[in-house]
A = this chain, B = another copy of it.
Amino acid sequence: MDITAVVKRLEAIVGADNVSAAKSDRITHSYDATQQKHLPDVVVYAASVNEVAQVVQLANEVEMPVLPRGAGSGFTGGSLPVYGGIVLVLSRMDRILDIDTENLTAEVEPGVVTATLQREVERLGLFYPPDPASKEFCTLGGNVAECAGGPRCVKYGVTRDYILGLEVVTPTGDIITTGGKTLKNVAGYDLTRLFVGSEGTLGIVTKIIVKLLPKPAAKKTMLVLFKTIDGAARSVSAIIGAKIIPTTLEFLDGATIDCIRGKSSIDLPENCRAALIVEVDGDEDLLDRQMARIREIIEPSGTLAVKVAATDDESEQIWQVRRIVSPSLKQISPDKFNEDIVVPRSKVPDMIRELEKISSEYGVSIVNFGHAGDGNIHVNIMVDLKEEGMKEKVEIVLDRVFGAAVALRGSISGEHGIGTAKMNYLHMELDAATIDYMRRIKTALDPKNILNPGKIFLEKSSGESA
- The reply to whether the CB of A183 lies closer than 8 angstroms to some CB of chain B is yes
Chain A: residues with Cβ within 8 Å of the partner, total of: 90
Any chain B CB within 8 A of the CB of A312?
no
- A186 touching B285 in the complex, CB below 8 Å, given contacts A102-B240, A175-B433, A433-B170: no
Is the pair B241, A102 in contact by a Cβ cutoff of 8 Å?
Answer: yes
- A181's partner among B237, B344, B416 (CB-CB below 8 A) is B344
> Which single member of B193, B433, B438 contacts A193 (CB below 8 Å)?
B193
Does A184 interact with chain B (Cβ within 8 Å)? yes
Q: Which residue of B lies closest to A164 (CB)?
A: B344
- Which of A193, A416, A417 has its CB near the most chain B CB atoms (within 10 A)? A193
Mark out the residues of chain A between 250 and 295 whose CB falls within 8 Å of any chain B CB in the assembled complex. 283, 285-286
B440 lies within 8 A of A187 (CB): no
Q: Does A149 contact B (CB under 8 A)?
A: yes
Q: Does A346 contact B (CB under 8 A)?
A: yes
B-chain residues with CB within 8 Å of residue A435 when the two chains form the complex? 188
Assess whether A81 is interfacial by the CB under 8 Å rule. no
A131 within 8 A of B: no
Flag if B184 contacts A457 (CB, 8 Å).
no
The 10 closest A-B pairs by CB, nearest first: A444-B444, A214-B243, A193-B193, A184-B414, A102-B346, A174-B433, A176-B434, A185-B411, A103-B344, A183-B374
Chain A positions within 8 Å of B, measured between CB atoms, are 100-105, 125-126, 146-147, 149, 153-154, 157-158, 160-161, 170, 174-178, 180-191, 193-194, 196-198, 202, 213-215, 237, 240-241, 243-245, 283, 285-286, 342-346, 371, 374-376, 409-418, 422, 426, 429-431, 433-438, 440-441, 443-445, 456-457
Q: Would you mind naming 19 contact pairs between A and B with Cβ atoms under 8 Å apart? A: A170-B437, A177-B430, A181-B344, A182-B343, A182-B375, A182-B411, A183-B374, A183-B375, A186-B411, A186-B415, A188-B430, A188-B435, A188-B438, A188-B457, A189-B194, A190-B193, A213-B245, A215-B243, A440-B444
